[in-house]
Structure formats: structure tokens, C-alpha cells
Amino acid sequence: MISLTSYAFVSMMLFSIGVIGVIARRNIFVIYMSIEMMLNGINLFLVTFARYHFNMDPQVITVMVIAIAAAEAAIFLSVIILLYRSRKSLDTDIFTTLTQGEKS
């Protein structure tokens, strides 16, 4: 029997890797994938506790999250295409048009 702690640990690992991916990586696709990874980390966490407490509510939320993530993927990918068309690049650091201070 795999303990609850292991499930929680894996889901937190997934979330943390996602966070680090968002912060540390520059490629916009990798950032997108990291965001998905964070979502899935949360999903795993919810499902685990749903099973543990025999409560179906978290599973409803999980299905909801997956549906929204799918919709989000459609928008995200189209935005990435537009960004790529305007700058011919996938590096997030060059999309600084909305900056206020000196360009960094």
C-alpha cells in the first residue's frame, strides 16, 4: 500500500517542479508545460484526498480543472502563435512592452 504521504509528496514535487519551471525557464512552451504540471500536481493532490476521505467533491473540482485546462490550452497556444508572429521568438524576456521602469 502506497502511503498517503507518498501521494502528497509526489503531487508537491510536481507542483514545485512546475513553479521552478515557470520561474527559471525562458522558453514560453516550457513555461506552459510547467503550468500544466502545477495543475496536475494539484489534481493529484485533490484526487488522493478524495479517495482517502471517500468524498467525491474534490474529484468534481479535478474534472473541472482538467476541462478548464483544456480550454486554457487552446487560448494559450493561440496566444503563443501570435507572440511568435510578432517577435519571431519564444523567449519570454523579450516581451517587455508593458514595462514601466527602465528596461531591464
**Quick one: 10 or 19, whose CB is closer to other proteins?**
19
CA dihedral 60, 70, 7, 54 (to 10 degrees): 10
Shortest distance in whole angstroms from residue 1 CB to other proteins: 27
The least CB distance from residue 56 to other proteins, in Å, is 24
Indicate the residue among 25 and 51 with the shorter CB distance to other proteins.
25
In 3-state terms, what secondary structure has residue 91? Answer: strand
**Half-sphere exposure at residue 67, Cβ-oriented, CA atoms within 13 angstroms:** 6
Site for other proteins in 5-34 (CB under 8 A): 19, 22-26, 31
* Grid cell at residue 4: 498517503
Give the residues lining the site for other proteins (CB under 8 A).
Answer: 19, 22-26, 31, 92-93, 95-104
